[in-house]
Each structure stands twice: as C-alpha cells, then as structure tokens.
Structure 1
C-alpha cells in the first residue's frame, strides 16, 4: 500500500484500489497516484547505441539510456534535450530528435513504486566522444551493438523491451 494513513486527516481507514487510487473511509479524501512521464534517448553513432551505467539505485550497476523525468509544463522533446545536457554536457538539436515509441515502466524509488510512461527518442550523433557531467547519476558510458548485446544487462524493463523490439535483438 502506498500510504498507511490518509494524507488529509491522518486516519488509518484507507482503501487502495488498483494500486493507484487511495480513498479515506473517514473523511472522503481520494488520492490518485498517476503515471509520471519520462524520456529516454537512444543516442546512436552508426550501428552503436550509447548506454549509461547507473551509479545508484534503482538498478545501480546496470545499463540505462540517458534521460529522466519530464518536469511539469515541459514538452517531452525539451526534457530529452535538457536531460542530455545535464547528464552528458552536449546540446541536441530538438529538430533532429526522432520519436521511437512509448513503454510503461515501474520505477521503485525509496519504497514507492512509481508507474511511468517512458517516451523514447532517437538521435544520430556526429561523433562518439562524450563525457559524463552527472557523475552522481552515471558511473560510466558504454557503446553497444544492440543485436549482439545481452538484454539482461539493461536495468529497466521498458528500456529492455524497446531495445529488444526496435533494435533487432
């Protein structure tokens, strides 16, 4: 259960429905734990895809794609460009972002399961030399050839699914 007590009146008389609707049977307060939007960018250089190695949980030590949560009021394309600049220090031309697909994900953060909708974009790089500007989030960078990689090295289910379905694995 997401909450043990009502966030409005602190009553313990709450009911959770479908893991996202929480209702207080005492005061009538209803809370919907809605889906959060996130972006992931498949940075390509020829037949290689750039993966990051996660520095911390969830899924520390596994492969990930650069990206992150979309801020309130922010467009997905702007979030993708912002996240790449924050994590890798490069500026993307948003007109060159190619929409790939979306995928549902479950993001466990400090005992709370966040349901996310991950929006995937692809971007072709002109050169493969990149650095890390968010060492608190990224332990390393790794170029991979998707058709030959082990999908189990990827931490998040949504990324595993999209790489497997959209990049011929």
Structure 2
C-alpha cells in the first residue's frame, strides 16, 4: 500500500485499500490505476568503454547509473534520451542516433512512494563533445572499459541487467 494515498483524489473520502496497481473509492466509485511509468537509460559507448554517471541523489546515491530519466507526457522514448543527455551531460546527440536495445521492469522508490517503471535501454556512440555535468543529479562520470565493469556497483537492478546483457553480447 502506498502510505501517501490515504484519501480519494476525487472526493476526499478515506481510502483503506490501495495496492500497487489499483485504488477504488467506496464513496464516489472512482477507480484509479497506477500505470507503469516509462523511463530511458542510454548506454553511451566510446571505443571499448561505457560512460556511467554517479548518482548525486537518492535513490541509489553514490552508485553507478546510465544517463537517462523519466519520459515526459507526449514525448517519445528517443526524444527522452536526447533531452536527458542534454540535461545531464550537456551534449547533443541527434535523435536518429539512439538505437533501441531492450527493456526491463524496475521498482523505483522515491520519498516513500514506489513507482513501477519500464526502463527502455538505448545505445548511442558518444560524440566528440565536452561533458558539462548537471551537478544536482550527477556527482561525476566514469568511463569504464567493458572488461572492468563491476555489475554490483550499478544502483538499479534493471540497469544492472541491461549492462549485463550488453556485456554478454560484446565481450566475446
């Protein structure tokens, strides 16, 4: 149960049951579904290395991450990749340069509220541009050779699985 949602957002009536997917108000018959949120993660590669960000915020502060974030309403996943790379790293990658790789479900808890996400992973080559970090979200970046990547240092299970799949295809 999501602790934060104790009242119906339509009529204000007390809600006694809300599972991770559905809430029904016994007073006004509103049925609210908590749908999956779309998010992207981008594997940025250069030669035999991948670019990882170091999270500067919870959840998973201090852990490795891939550049990316939540998809805005009316935004394609590829545009989300482009926007998030611009916001987090200060670089521009043409939208057609993002190649879909795979997706993984994720549990993303933020301030006590659990969000179910579908993390859509894309691959792109890193352009020859200087990185300008968005310091509020990103503490640092690390280029790590494929053979030196330690999956246990990646903060989210979904992204750990994405990188593991990438390594299995590229470390032969």
Does residue 161 of structure 2 align to residue 155 of structure 1?
Answer: no
| Aligned-residue offset at 1:147 | 3.6
Structure 2 residue aligned with 1:105: 106
Deviation at 1:125, TM superposition (A): 2.0
Matched, 1:89 2:90: yes
CA shift at 1:126, angstroms? 4.4
Q: 1:75 to 1:13 in 2, by over 3 A?
A: closer
Q: Map Cα deviations across residues 99-142 of structure 1 (whole Å, 9 max, x no partner).
A: 10111111111111011111111111244x64233100000001
Q: How many equivalent pairs are there? A: 167
Secondary structure of 1:87's match?
A: helix
CA contact (8 A) 1:40 1:80 kept: yes
The alignment's TM-score, normalised by the length of structure 2, stands at: 0.90
- TM-score normalized with structure 1 length: 0.92
What is the CA–CA distance in structure 1 between the aligned matches of 2:147 and 2:31, rounded to whole Å? 46
Give SS of 1:80's match: helix
Q: Which residue of 2 aligns with 1:131?
A: 131
Alpha-carbon distance in 1 for matches of 2:148, 2:164: 11
RMSD: 1.6
Runs of at least 5 residues in structure 2 that lack an aligned partner in the other structure: none
Determine the C-alpha separation between the residues in 2 that align with 1:132 and 1:67. Answer: 15
**Do the aligned residues in 2 keep the contact of 1:105 with 1:117 (CA within 8 Å)?**
yes
> Which residue pairs with 2:42 in the alignment?
41
Work out the CA distance in 2 between the residues paired with 1:83 and 1:154.
19
Moved over 3 A (4+): none
Q: Call closer, same or farther: CA 1:14–1:29 in 2, change over 3 Å.
A: farther
Q: Distance in 2 between matches of 1:156 and 1:124?
A: 23
CA distance in 2, matches of 1:87, 1:126: 15
Superposition pairs of residues 70-81 of structure 1, within 5 angstroms: 70-81=71-82
* Structure 2 counterpart of 1:30: 31
Q: Distance in 1 between matches of 2:127 and 2:61?
A: 29
Structure 1 residues not aligned, in runs of 5+? none
